[in-house]
Amino acid sequence: MWGAVAGLGFPAHPYVQVTALAVGAGLFPLRRRFPVAVLLVLAALTGAAPCVGPVTAATAFAVARRTVRARRRGRLLVAAAAVVVVCATVSAPWSGPGPVEYGLALGLILTPAAVLVPGLVGTSYGQQRRLVQALRERGDAAERARRSADSEARTHERSRIAAEMHDLVGHRLSLISLHAGGLELALERADPELREEAVLVRRTTRDAMRELRQAVGVLGPLGRDTGPEALTDATGTRADIESLVAESRNGGIAVRLDWTGPDLDARTARVRRAVHRVVRESLTNVHRYASAAHVTVTVVHGDETVRVTVRNGAPPAPPASAGSVGTGRGLTGLRERVELLGGTFDAAPLPSGGFQVDAVVPAEPGDTPARAPARAHTAGDVTGHDASHDAGTPPERRTAQVLTLALGLAALSVLMVLGTAFVYATAPHKNAGPSPLPRVGMTYADVAATGVSDNKAVRAAATGHEPPRPAGTAGCVYPFNGATEPRPGGLIVARYCFDASQRLIAIDRFTVPSVRDAAPWETP
């Protein structure tokens, strides 16, 4: 735009326009931190230097797109438009087209192209983005509600099944245990040999009751454990992990614990339970498959995550139970438990021959299970410099939006150039209007600049018929444009007399006779 306007020679100070353009380009990156101030300053620069108009248009679009409150957005656009008009009007006599009314016209032309139209387009884009974001949040909320309802339904069903098992099977086992105890007392004197069988039945019933309670605990709500592995306030804390390590060390395994960060007593039960299960299952696998290897248990408690790593070296000799390969259900259960909390789990052999279990658990897990990273990645990555603005936008659609906005900005720039050229072209200039008439006192050069020059034919016609020249005349000029014929046989001649200092001292007009030959077909 500056090249087009400056190439036509309209601005009086083109380098001032370049300076204003440089200032506007420097303010443009600050539009997000100081949107109001940047837009108003660019509007003032646009009024004084029209070449800043495209920068102001881009800023108005960005600010209107991010401003949520409609009243504040409207006031800001109106204020920016008023600043453009005022600055264009005030600066017109110095750096604009000249007269104040033409500066006002220039401001009124620049305002729609530089502020109002980009602001309205930015408002439309912003409302569309916020609507899509609201719909996406509503869909996520509906998905969370559906998952919560499904989870609650499963929990109720598991609880119902657990209650049925406890009421029916538990009642029958209690009766068996009661009758076995009575039979044990009755056979104590009658038949001591059969008494041992009664004791065996009672103990078996007691074991069955304990196993039933454990099964009921598994079928019950996920947040409740029963049996000898019930959750306590110390489960998953540093003291609990040290106890697990001490038990393994007493079992003949060289175990070392490295704890970094504060204790886990302030974290939720789900996090502490996951840490406890990872350490316990990993040490159990070491007991089974690498009892002679060195083991390192590392717990890193950070602000956002809790990382548990259990690593063992290669055993010097294969364990006795190496021939029986495990089912892998323990590691599968750990993976599911960790990923349900939104964490990551990795268990793999090491190149040195050892094995490593690595689990990362969020310190504050959400209400709903998070997706695994691999599944989230296959669903499609978000592209764009601003995830809050471009999240979920396909690359093809984003490219189309960028091209549309670029073409729109180019069209607005063309309109600004045409409007500025129209105002500057119609404004009066120094050389506009008719040339001034010669007057007494002007120099010979000034008189010649008005178009007065000596004509030999007119001088010859005036010779012998002109009045006496004024006193002090050094020379006279007889221009052709001063000779007119008011009547047949007469010619009015103008004479401009100058003194010795080339100053015009007199302008005379007189009539001289003219000679006219009659045509052959005319009669006297």
What pLDDT was estimated at residue 94? 79
The fourth-level CATH superfamily of domain 238-316+328-362 is Histidine kinase-like ATPase, C-terminal domain (3.30.565.10)
Q: pLDDT tens digit string along 343-356?
A: 999 999 998 889 99
- State how far the Cα of 319 lies from the Cα of 342, in Å rounded to an integer: 35
What is the share, in percent, of the chain residues with pLDDT greater than 70? 80
Find the length of the chain: 524
Query: Could you tell me which of 36, 54, 43 has the C-alpha nearest to residue 91?
Result: 43
Averaged pLDDT score across all residues of the chain: 80
What pLDDT was estimated at residue 370? 44
The helices-and-strands tally (H runs, E runs) of the chain is 16, 8
What pLDDT was estimated at residue 356? 93
Does the pLDDT value for residue 119 go beyond 50? Answer: yes
Q: pLDDT tens digit string along 178-224?
A: 788 888 888 877 777 788 888 888 888 887 877 777 666 656 554 44
pLDDT category of residue 31 using cuts at 50, 70 and 90: confident
Q: What is the mean pLDDT of residues 115-140?
A: 88
Return the structure tokens found at 66. Answer: 């991010």
- State how far the Cα of 443 lies from the Cα of 450, in Å rounded to an integer: 11
Q: What is the mean pLDDT of residues 78-106?
A: 86
pLDDT category of residue 476 using cuts at 50, 70 and 90: very high
SS3 69: coil
- State how far the Cα of 393 lies from the Cα of 385, in Å rounded to an integer: 12
Tally Cβ neighbours within 10 Å of residue 173.
Answer: 17
The distance of Cα 287 from the centroid of its chain, to the nearest Å, equals: 53
Query: Could you tell me which of 112, 118, 123, 107 has the C-alpha nearest to residue 60?
Result: 118
What pLDDT was estimated at residue 124? 87
pLDDT category of residue 371 using cuts at 50, 70 and 90: very low
Residues 235 and 207 sit within 8 Å (Cβ to Cβ): no
Does the pLDDT value for residue 242 go beyond 60? Answer: yes
- Beta-bridge partner residues of 56: none
Instruction: Return the minimum-mean-pLDDT range out of 76-80, 291-295, 485-489.
Output: 485-489
Cβ neighbors of 432 (< 8 A, separation 6 or more) are none
Q: What is the mean pLDDT of residues 26-30?
A: 90
DSSP symbol at 52:
G
437 vs 363, more confident:
363
Pairing verdict, β 254-260 and 294-301: parallel
Three-state secondary structure of 267-327: CCHHHHHHHHHHHHHHHHHHHHHCCCCEEEEEEEECCCEEEEEEEECCCCCCCHHHHCCCC
Burial of 416 per CB tally in 10 Å (0-12, 13-18, 19+): buried
What pLDDT was estimated at residue 174? 73
pLDDT category of residue 83 using cuts at 50, 70 and 90: very high
pLDDT category of residue 166 using cuts at 50, 70 and 90: low
- State how far the Cα of 206 lies from the Cα of 187, in Å rounded to an integer: 20
- State how far the Cα of 47 lies from the Cα of 108, in Å rounded to an integer: 10
SS3 503: strand
- The residues spanned by each domain of the chain are 1-218+399-433, 238-316+328-362, 442-513
Cβ neighbors of 269 (< 8 A, separation 6 or more) are 223, 231, 235
Q: What is the mean pLDDT of residues 330-346?
A: 85
* Amino acid present at 52: V
Query: Could you tell me which of 198, 199, 197, 208 has the C-alpha nearest to residue 174?
Result: 208
What pLDDT was estimated at residue 482? 56
Q: pLDDT tens digit string along 251-265?
A: 788 999 999 999 998
